[in-house]
Amino acid sequence: MSQPALTNLYDLTRADLRTWLIQRDLNPTHAARLWSYLYLDLVDTFDAMPDLPARVRDRLAAETFIGTLPIAAATDSSDGFTRKYLLSLPDAERIETVLMRFTGRVTACISSQVGCAMGCVFCATGQMGYTRHLSAGEIVAQATHVARALRSNSAPSATVPRERLRNIVLMGMGEPLHNYDAVMRAIDILRDDGGLALAAERITLSTVGVVPGILRLAREKRPLHLAVSLHAATQPERAALVPAARKWPLDELIAACRTYSETTGRRIFYEWTLIDGKNDTPDHARAVGHLLRGLPAQVNLIPLNPTTGYDGAPTRTEAARRFQKILADEFALPSTVRQRRGIDIAAGCGQLAATR
Ligand code: SAH
Ligand code: SF4
């Protein structure tokens, strides 16, 4: 008979842990201490849990594991703010996770899939295709990895000692709403106030525009920030950049965004990768302004980062400013231009890819 698979503790919520203990006639109150070992002390072995009775530890060691992900490579950007980790998964697949530090703000950019099925033409992850979803535990492990790196002070710009991980952006490899259940379970674990205790206002999920996922987020009133990747304000232009737009057309996407904002009372961030001559003219800016009229919105402009599979140039600073000015002056629409970070190590938006 084959052995039952070991349970990854990072897959379990605190309530699951209590159930796991009860099912084995162990005292469920141990869940609290176990949780703090996992997410406050960030330990990665059962030997480092001396406060738990030996029979609890033995049972854990026999049936579970702590799913930390080994570092296959770590690269620092010359910008001094960005470090990229290549992490190994148990099946030898690999993912990338990015640690960014700007203006006193520490952010982990986390992946939700190996590759991506959505095929956006300018995105390195899309260019590599889809391999598989990440489990909740593999998503959580990226956050504990970054939290551990910050604690050990091995992160870039290590001037502030023992910093805590405060911000998470689900903007790494993959489409998070294509892997909805695992992503939401991971977020629940990351938010648990006895552990990493990430505040809902500090978690941002970026989607290519998976309409059923956006409506489900609205129904479930998930506390997080939502970013929607728009890139174009007409259906044909958008479908040329974002093939997923053929499945979820622009009018349906905007209707879903409206429902989301009305149901949750939340503003949405609309992301717009600025490509020279393609979607950065004053007419494009006006088209976005009209499209988002009446919606609680902020536009995040991301000058195109280079990838091997796409032949386009980033919008120049002047044109980006002009775009912003039109949004502000003619539509009272706030916008930001994303600072370019980690481009030299391919850690910028849309540059993450990993091979075995
Ligand atoms: N799958 C999600 C999240 C990951 S990508 C999504 O698509 O929203 C995070 C952001 O980077 C998205 O807005 C995406 O469109 C953008 N992006 C992808 N490739 C890029 C590139 N080469 N340059 C700049 N931004 C890019
Ligand atoms: Fe996938 Fe997002 Fe890249 Fe599109 S931009 S291919 S949805 S990761």
Mapping DSSP onto H, E and C, the string for 122-139 reads: CCHHHHHCEEEECCHHHH
Q: Which ligand is nearest to the CA of 117?
A: 2
**Catalytic choice (109, 116, 123, 349):** 349
* Residue 160 scores a pLDDT above 70: no
Given pLDDT bands bounded at 50, 70 and 90, which one contains residue 158? very low
Q: Residue 323 contacts by C-beta under 8 Å, 6 or more apart in sequence?
A: 274, 280, 282, 284, 285, 301, 315, 335
What span, in angstroms and rounded, lies between the C-alpha atoms of 98 and 77? 11
Lowest mean pLDDT among 22-36, 171-185, 334-348: 334-348
Q: Which is the closest atom of ligand 1 to the Cα of 170?
A: 3
- One of 63, 96, 201, 262 is an active-site residue; which one? 96
Closest CA to ligand 2's atom 8: 174
The preferred substitution site among 204, 214, 229, 247 for testing ligand 1, maximizing ligand atoms within 8 Å of CB, is 229
Q: Verify whether ligand 1 is closer than 6 Å to residue 305 (CB atom).
A: yes
Please tell me the number of Cα atoms within 13 Å of 18 on its side-chain side: 6
Ligand nearest to the CA of 205: 1
Nearest CA to ligand 1 atom 8: 207
Q: Which residue has the higher pLDDT, 341 or 336?
A: 336
Q: Which of 102, 276, 93, 271 is nearest to 173 (CA)?
A: 93
Average pLDDT over residues 310-329: 96
Residue 197 tokens, joined: 């205790």
How many CB atoms within 10 Å of residue 189?
26
Give the mean pLDDT of the chain: 94
pLDDT tens per residue, range 219-263: 999 999 999 999 999 999 999 999 999 999 999 999 999 999 999
Q: Please work out whether the CB of residue 96 comes within 6 Å of at least one atom of ligand 1.
A: no
Q: Max Cα separation, the chain?
A: 70
Encode pLDDT of 10-66 as tens digits: 999 999 999 999 999 999 999 999 999 999 999 999 999 999 999 999 999 999 999
Residue 275 CA to residue 316 CA, distance in Å, equals 9
Q: How much distance in Å is there from the Cα of 137 to the middle of ligand 2?
A: 22
Between 180-184, 209-213, 347-351, the lowest mean confidence (pLDDT) is in 347-351
Q: Is 257 a catalytic residue?
A: no
Cβ neighbours, 10 Å, residue 29: 10
Ligand 1 atom closest to the Cα of residue 228 is 8
To the query of whether residue 349 is one of the catalytic residues in this protein, the response is: yes
Ligand 1 in contact with 155 (CB < 6 A)?
no
| Residue 117 per-residue DSSP state | S
333 CB contacts (<8 Å, ≥6 apart)? 288, 289, 292, 297, 298, 299, 327
Torsion of CA 252, 257, 259, 262, to 10 degrees: -160
d(CA 39, CA 190): 9
250 by Cβ neighbours in 10 Å (0-12 / 13-18 / 19+) ranks as buried
- Coil, helix or strand at residue 205: strand
> Nearest bound ligand to CA 247?
2
Q: Which atom of ligand 1 is nearest to the CA of 231?
A: 15
Beta carbons within 8 Å of 314's beta carbon, 6+ residues apart: 274, 275, 276, 303, 304, 305
CB of 206 within 6 A of ligand 1: the answer is yes
* Phi, psi (rounded to 5 degrees) for 337: -110, 120
| Residue 113 CB–ligand 2 contact under 6 Å | no
- C-beta of 147 in contact with ligand 1 (< 6 A): no
For 244-275, give the DSSP string: GGGTS-HHHHHHHHHHHHHHH---EEEEEEEB
Helix-then-strand count for the chain, H and E: 11, 14
Query: How many A from CA of 54 to the centre of ligand 2?
Result: 46
